[in-house]
Structure 1
């Protein structure tokens, strides 16, 4: 059985919307896209790259899959994630049956909680979710996420889509904490069962 970890960039007030660019996710008139870019550092990249070799696959919602995977596969080489993303199995939870454009991609068509629960039972190893807020919230509520890697940025935006909304209490245990020179705190947390 797989373990599922969600990796998310968030602000101090929990906003996860559009950390990488203005055009990434302007839903609701969000005007702060790209808020995480000034905090990027080599330290952060090194810490985030540590677990890549242990990843059995990546799980995305369709919007994040199209934006993030498309970005890294079209970015000039060398780039830190292009080869990894190209080769790593990718599962995309989606209600749409539109074809997937990128290599090593499999569509999980239907309701995410059901399709991801089946995937979790069928795959061995670590599955990582990047971004994909709607997917993370639904899997969190269903108890299907085993851990989080939260990149907490020292900024308060005051508006935007937050990682967690209303829902059930979930107790987490801190496994590791690192702070970069730009003030990003990277928390590795596991779900207490």
Structure 2
């Protein structure tokens, strides 16, 4: 069976919306976009780079997949993340897309995300990594399909914005299996479901 790992950047008050840039995700009138940039450092890059040493397939919600196309699909540089993102098989969970042809190696998973990922989870193949895609993570967590989390806990509160678990989550216990603190105070915590 494949394992599903969710990697999310999160504030101390649980916000996961609009990490990268001001216009990334303004749903609900969110005005704090780009909150994560000042916290990047070499420790974070090295820790995130470790995940590429064990290649996985990627799993996205439609919105994050479309945003990542803008950031990664047309880049041609020697950044190892670019090579990883473009080479990986990318599964896109969507009820609205007709196809996933806009980014190489993308496969559309139509219909209910929990059902399609549960089917995918039973197939032989690489483990699945979700980056962002908070709505997808919530759905998969509720269905018991998230095996582990990598949370980049940023030392700030925003007060507003989409939280990782809006309205709560089912009781699920996790074990802390490792952590690293960056020079800018971000705690990168790895949790595995018990």
For the criterion TM > 0.5, the same-fold answer is yes
Alignment partners' CA distance in 1, 2:124 and 2:91? 11
Match of 1:13 in 2: 13
Aligned to 2:179, which of 177, 180, 185? 177
Residue deviations 1:102-152, cap 9 Å, x none? 001100011001000001111333210000011000000010000000000
Match of 1:87 in 2: 87
Contiguous gaps of at least 5 residues in structure 1? none
Match of 1:102 in 2: 103
Alignment partners' CA distance in 2, 1:69 and 1:4? 22
- The two structures, once aligned, show a CA RMSD in angstroms of 1.2
Contiguous gaps of at least 5 residues in structure 2? none
Match of 1:58 in 2: 58
| 8 Å contact kept, 1:55–1:128 | no
Structure 1 residues 117-126 or 182-191, which shifts more? 117-126
Aligned residues: 192
Match of 2:190 in 1: 188
Aligned-residue offset at 1:168: 1.0
| 8 Å contact kept, 1:69–1:85 | no
Match of 2:122 in 1: 121
Structure 1 residues 166-175 or 48-57, which shifts more? 48-57
Aligned-residue offset at 1:159: 0.6
Query: Residues 58 and 122 of structure 1: is their aligned pair in 2 closer, same or farther, counting only changes over 3 Å?
Result: same
Alignment partners' CA distance in 2, 1:182 and 1:123? 39
Alignment partners' CA distance in 2, 1:80 and 1:153? 24
Match of 2:161 in 1: 160
| 8 Å contact kept, 1:54–1:126 | no
Aligned-residue offset at 1:98: 2.3
TM-score w.r.t. length of structure 2: 0.95
**Stretches (4+) displaced over 4 A:** none
